[in-house]
């Protein structure tokens, strides 16, 4: 399976943020979408997720020799700030999601099996989501996407504000889930992209450019990335 972005453009108030992006993402890989704050990473994700209207462009899934436009169920989106129904308990939210998506979910497990998978303890499963920590709310967002099994998983800086232990748990979880889907992980932290991702994609000057990760530990590689991002900021 491949996910192809063709000629994606998006402008705000006459400023072109995304400039005719053409890029193909491959199944089974975690892509680190690396760019400065304000480079357009969230705009790129919002275009894919149809949260904002593009000026031009196509989003195509290619599988088994067939190509088609993506649909809403192809895409899962984990926001940097978790959005969960805080008036429900973790268990109620999980059961509600499973019930309304029962026809599309394959190999349904029990709520407790799902909670075990993301290391949410028994004492927390029946607490209101409003009482969950930021990291636990992020885990619930991830859990919904584990259940839904989207073809494309968008992660908008989900680890930035987590403590070290939870962040490491989330990284291990993402590595275990990458098979059979395309994962695009947005971050402005170079070391995180190097540690987690199979391929680094630089969003700079409104365009995407793949960077060979074989050289990720080379000083010249890091300097090239920083220089590119610095030049963009000075424009």
- To the nearest whole percent, how much of the chain has pLDDT over 90? 50
CB contact set of 93 (below 8 Å; sequence gap of 6+) = 84, 85, 129, 140
pLDDT, tens only, 168-215: 888 888 888 899 999 999 987 888 888 888 998 999 889 998 876 665
Which stretches of the chain are DSSP H helices? 41-48, 90-100, 111-117, 134-148, 164-177, 190-196, 219-234
The yes-or-no verdict on residue 233 having pLDDT over 60 is: no
Confidence of residue 61 (pLDDT cuts 50, 70, 90): very high
Domain membership of residue 25 (yes or no) is yes
In a domain, 98, yes or no: no
Inside any domain, residue 140? no
Give the span between the Cα atoms of 74 and 194, in whole angstroms: 26
Domain contains 128: no
pLDDT of residue 201: 92
- In this prediction, residue 108 carries a pLDDT of 87
- Show the domain range for 31: 2-83+150-234
**Longest Cα–Cα distance in the chain:** 53
115 domain-assigned: no
In a domain, 208, yes or no: yes
* Torsion on CA atoms 124, 127, 132, 136, rounded to nearest 10: 40
The phi, psi pair for 31, rounded to 5°, reads -100, 125
3-state secondary structure of 88: coil
The model's pTM: 0.88
- Asked if residue 192 belongs to a domain, the reply is yes
Can you read off the two tokens belonging to residue 205?
Answer: 């000057």
Query: What is the rounded average pLDDT of the residues 1-8?
Result: 96
Output the pLDDT for position 172: 87
Q: Which of 23-32, 92-101, 223-232 has the lowest mean pLDDT?
A: 223-232
Reported as a single tens digit per residue, the pLDDT across 70-116 is 999 999 998 888 889 999 999 999 999 999 988 888 888 999 999 99
Question: What confidence tier does 234 reach under pLDDT thresholds 50, 70, 90?
Answer: low
Say which residue the tokens 């275990």 belong to.
176
pLDDT at 218 over 70: no
| Mean model confidence pLDDT for the chain | 87
- The CATH number assigned to the domain holding 178 equals 3.40.50.300
DSSP 176-196: HH-TTSEEEEEES-HHHHHHH
Read off the pLDDT of each residue in 130-156 and give the average, rounded to a whole number.
90
Residue 106 lies in a domain: no
Domain count, the chain: 1
For 105-116, give the DSSP string. --S---HHHHHH
Count of Cβ atoms closer than 10 Å to residue 72 Cβ: 8
Task: Report pLDDT for 45.
Answer: 95
């Amino acid at each position: 399976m491949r996910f192809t972005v063709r000629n994606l453009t998006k402008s705000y108030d006459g400023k072109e943020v995304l400039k005719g992006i053409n890029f193909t993402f491959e199944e089974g890989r975690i892509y680190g979408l690396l760019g400065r704050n304000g480079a357009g990473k969230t705009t790129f994700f919002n275009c894919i997720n149809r949260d904002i209207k593009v000026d031009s462009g196509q989003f195509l899934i290619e599988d088994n020799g067939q190509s088609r436009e993506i649909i809403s169920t192809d895409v899962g989106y984990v926001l940097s700030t978790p959005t969960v129904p805080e008036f429900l308990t973790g268990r109620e939210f999980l059961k509600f999601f499973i019930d309304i998506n029962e026809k599309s979910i394959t190999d349904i497990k029990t709520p407790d099996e799902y909670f075990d998978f993301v290391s949410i303890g028994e004492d927390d499963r029946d607490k209101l989501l409003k009482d969950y920590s930021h990291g636990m709310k992020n885990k619930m967002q991830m859990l919904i996407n584990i259940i839904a099994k989207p073809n494309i998983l968008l992660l908008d800086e989900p680890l930035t504000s987590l403590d070290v232990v939870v962040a490491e748990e989330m990284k291990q979880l993402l590595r275990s889930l990458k098979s059979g889907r395309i994962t695009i992980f947005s971050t402005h932290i170079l070391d995180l992209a190097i540690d987690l991702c199979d391929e680094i994609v630089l969003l700079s000057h409104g365009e995407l450019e793949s960077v060979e990760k074989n050289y990720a530990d080379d000083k010249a590689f890091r300097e090239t990335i920083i220089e590119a991002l610095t030049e963009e900021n000075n424009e």
